[in-house]
Structure 1
Amino acid sequence: MVRIVTSETKVVEVPFNKEQITKIFKKHDKDKNGKLSFDEVKAAFVELKSSWPWFRTKRGFRHGDNDGDGYINMQDEELEHLVDYALQCGYTTK
């Protein structure tokens, strides 16, 4: 008697949570100045596998750059607003 065992593996996509997305954005503060530039935010959206990272970055700055200085300040609500926007985009991880 021959016994054949098969296993099927399903890849399940799970939405990123707030802490994971926050960590991704903070990781992209390459110059460690506590602020995210346009290019740093764009790099984070690339890591999140955005289809349109430039567009998402522009929208992210509309949501997060409250003082209009061209940076997302990571020490106040600007980063929180950017993260909330990214969560609304529905990025997932495998």
Structure 2
Amino acid sequence: MSEIKEEVIKTMATLITTAFGLIAALAWNEAIKALIQLFFKAGNALTGLFVYAIIVTILAYCNYNHRKEPRTFRNRNARRLNIPVF
């Protein structure tokens, strides 16, 4: 029974962390939109959307590459040392 309780607690912690990540992403979304609107006036709406899309794509790519490498390193060392990886 304690294994189930531990798994539920881990799952809830993951869900809460994901929810905060989503809230932070939405906040950054609004901040980037406001910054782009500051530099591109209403007549350049299409240009602003493309700039926004490029910025978000670059951030997503950097985040993906940043998260990929440390996990590989951590997993390799954890296996070598017999440490469980979460």
Answer 1 or 2: which has greater helix percent.
2
The TM-score with structure 2 as length reference comes to 0.32
Compare CA radii of gyration and give the structure with the larger one: 2
Q: Which has the higher contact order (CA 8 A, sep 6+)?
A: 1
The TM-score with structure 1 as length reference comes to 0.30
